[in-house]
A and B are shown apart, each in its own frame.
Chain A
Amino acid sequence: MTLDAGHTTRVEFDYSGGERLTMNMGPQHPSAHGVFRAILTLEGETVVGVDAVIGYLHRCHEKLSETLTYAQYPSIASKTDYVAAMTSEFAYVMAAEAIGKIEVPKRAQYLRVIAAELQRIASHLLWLGTWCMDMGGALGGGATIFLYAIRERETILDLFESLVGARLLYGFYQVGGTRYDIPAGWADACRKTIDVIDQRIGEYEGLLEDNPFFQARAKDVGVITRELAEDVGIAGPLLRGSGVNFDLRRSAPYSSYEDFSFTVPVETGGDCFARYRVRMVEFRESIKIIRQGLDKLPDGPISSRPGLKSVAQIRIPKGEAYARVEGPRGEVGCYLIADGSAKPYRMKWRGASFSNLAVLPHIIPGHKVADVVAIMGSVDPVFGEVDR
């Protein structure tokens, strides 16, 4: 992780005058949403080279998982992407269930979907707030949208708190089902919360899209072509913003997603604005899915291994599986190899943010420094997931 100009991705531009300047953006930078260092090579205000330095938050999750049983690791998995903790738990338990051929009761599958979609709304709200704060002045006073979005996110965290007792890292998913059932009155509280958010999303769209400064900062900035998107393997709203109609919930349904009706938004612009539009539609689609889930929630047990405490209740045989879920940032995958013991032989995280961030060196050169902030925010990286 040294800076060596020889490693930097460079694009030569016709620029007549001034010498090149190397500038550090990060590791501590308010727009990085974590610890990320971009070594920029500048010609005047224009970025001509980027060397992305990551790893500041590395906790060796993959080595750690080899020392923890299938019953223990799910609650650690939530610490990879801590903004959408439900997602990584989901991928890990799905991989273990696939190897062990462990069935999941229908009620648990629906509860998993409801939690995952609430998590998507919470994660997108944090993205919307922080991204708009990054672009600050253009939106008439910086923290306006941020405070609104955080207010809404709090109401979802309140729901999670009454569901599992925690607001950030949950441990809600377990091999075989979920750890808790919804408490009395939770469904009504959930309906009220999403009704409020549903109505307010429209207000935010009005605030933003009627603002010419927002349009200027988001449109035609950070364009990712479809070819580049697939080649680098970016996923989620970024991929769909680049014209690829691919959503795992639709293309490879898991956990009863085939029972729900929702649309997958696709935009062809590939710029920050397209990614913004995709996420704004996803808010409403998630709300739709949650409503359907609460309406159709079947009765029955919440786990085929209730009260899971010991790994002896699960028994994962020798085998391997790759389980993937559509997280707020795209495909979160868990490649799990089991050797028949109580702990995995090898586990690999495909973190959506890692692949999404890898596209930055390809798209930033040619933009102004201020655009770097807008582009990075539109990628929505969570560094816990990048560095794992």
Chain B
Amino acid sequence: MTHEQAKTLIGERFGSAEVAPVSAEATGKGLVVTVPAADWQSFARFAKDTLGCRFFSFSTAVDWKEQGLEVVAKVDNLDSGLALMMKTKLGPGVSECPSLVPVYRGADWMERECYDMFGIRFDGHPDLRRILLADDWVGHPLLKSYAVDTPHPPYR
């Protein structure tokens, strides 16, 4: 699966997806694909089954302030070296996103961390609870609205 083949396949199957090469990816084989949130899970399924990106590298989110949250996931095809960065913009004020756990088991802990840090609720996640912070933590620290010096009670 080359870069160009993957690009063509994505274009055929997901017309609404925006595809851009990763400028900084050292191999030159990376793709960045932005899909609507509604296609998030089906695109992941397509990436895994059709593009052969079976390796789940990581997922995270970015807070673009007034433009809302963006969820990012990276998957790889270890045989061909194709690296795929998937993105979806949730839109202002939205913090719901489909979960990737039914597709990749590695998304379990990653999405829990994302919920912990950004408060994103992943629909279909079997066990969505905080992972790094304590259960009684108030707020989601990686949001831009969360000040670095926000006071918090002592750790139990």
Give me the interface of A with B, judged by CB distance under 8 Å.
1-2, 7, 54-55, 58, 60, 62-64, 66-67, 95, 98-99, 227-228, 230-233, 244, 246, 251-254, 319-323, 331, 333, 335, 337, 345-346, 348, 350, 354-355, 358, 362, 387-388
A387/B24 in contact, CB under 8 A: no
Which range holds the interface residue count of chain B? Answer: 35 or more
For the complex, give the distance between the alpha carbons of A98 and B132 in Å: 30
B13 in contact (CB, < 8 A): no
Find B132's partner among A322, A333, A337, A387 (CB 8 Å cutoff).
A387
For window 85-116 of B, CB contacts with A under 8 Å fall at 85, 104-106, 108-109
Find B60's partner among A55, A60, A244, A335 (CB 8 Å cutoff).
A335
B57/A350 in contact, CB under 8 A: yes
- Which residues does chain B contribute within 8 Å of A346, judged by CB atoms? 62-63, 142
- Which residues does chain B contribute within 8 Å of A350, judged by CB atoms? 57-58, 74
- Which residues does chain A contribute within 8 Å of B24, judged by CB atoms? 95, 98-99, 319-323
B138 in contact (CB, < 8 A): no
For the complex, give the distance between the alpha carbons of A346 and B65 in Å: 12
Find B55's partner among A2, A230, A388 (CB 8 Å cutoff).
A230
- Which residues does chain B contribute within 8 Å of A333, judged by CB atoms? 57-58, 74
* 16 chain-A/chain-B pairs, Cβ below 8 angstroms: A1-B130, A1-B131, A1-B135, A7-B129, A54-B131, A55-B132, A62-B117, A62-B142, A246-B55, A252-B83, A320-B24, A321-B23, A321-B24, A321-B25, A323-B24, A358-B108
> Smallest Cβ distance from B152 to chain A, in angstroms?
11
For the complex, give the distance between the alpha carbons of A99 and B25 in Å: 10
Find A228's partner among B83, B85, B105 (CB 8 Å cutoff).
B105
Q: A322-B22, A333-B58, A337-B62 are in contact. Are A55 and B133 (CB under 8 A)?
A: yes
A67/B105 in contact, CB under 8 A: no
For the complex, give the distance between the alpha carbons of A348 and B57 in Å: 12
- Which residues does chain A contribute within 8 Å of B104, judged by CB atoms? 231-233
- Which residues does chain A contribute within 8 Å of B127, judged by CB atoms? 7
- Which residues does chain B contribute within 8 Å of A64, judged by CB atoms? 148
Find A230's partner among B27, B56, B58, B60 (CB 8 Å cutoff).
B56
For the complex, give the distance between the alpha carbons of A266 and B6 in Å: 28
Q: A233-B106, A251-B81, A335-B60 are in contact. Are A1 and B142 (CB under 8 A)?
A: no
A335/B109 in contact, CB under 8 A: no
- Which residues does chain A contribute within 8 Å of B56, judged by CB atoms? 230-233
Q: A231-B56, A232-B106, A322-B74 are in contact. Are A60 and B26 (CB under 8 A)?
A: no
B134 in contact (CB, < 8 A): yes
B7 in contact (CB, < 8 A): no
B141 in contact (CB, < 8 A): yes
- Which residues does chain B contribute within 8 Å of A387, judged by CB atoms? 132
- Which residues does chain A contribute within 8 Å of B117, judged by CB atoms? 62
Beyond the given pairs A54-B132, A230-B56, 16 more chain A to chain B contacts, judged by CB atoms under 8 angstroms and listed by A's residue number, are: A7-B127, A7-B129, A60-B141, A62-B142, A98-B26, A227-B54, A231-B56, A251-B81, A254-B26, A320-B24, A321-B23, A322-B25, A333-B58, A345-B62, A350-B58, A355-B109
- CB nearest neighbor in B for A253: B26
B58/A233 in contact, CB under 8 A: yes
B72 in contact (CB, < 8 A): yes
> Smallest Cβ distance from B129 to chain A, in angstroms?
7
Find A348's partner among B23, B60, B129, B135 (CB 8 Å cutoff).
B60
A252/B133 in contact, CB under 8 A: no
Chain B CB within 10 A, most for which of A66, A67, A233:
A233
Q: A252-B27, A322-B22 are in contact. Are A58 and B106 (CB under 8 A)?
A: no
- CB nearest neighbor in A for B147: A63
B78 in contact (CB, < 8 A): yes
Closest 5 pairs between A and B when the two form their complex, measured CB to CB = A321-B24, A98-B24, A233-B106, A55-B132, A233-B56
- CB nearest neighbor in A for B146: A63
A251/B131 in contact, CB under 8 A: no
For the complex, give the distance between the alpha carbons of A55 and B156 in Å: 13
For the complex, give the distance between the alpha carbons of A63 and B139 in Å: 14
> Smallest Cβ distance from A88 to chain B, in angstroms?
14
- Which residues does chain A contribute within 8 Å of B27, judged by CB atoms? 251-252
For the complex, give the distance between the alpha carbons of A320 and B32 in Å: 11
For the complex, give the distance between the alpha carbons of A358 and B132 in Å: 13
Q: A7-B129, A323-B24, A331-B57 are in contact. Are A231 and B106 (CB under 8 A)?
A: yes
- Which residues does chain B contribute within 8 Å of A228, judged by CB atoms? 105
- Which residues does chain B contribute within 8 Å of A331, judged by CB atoms? 57
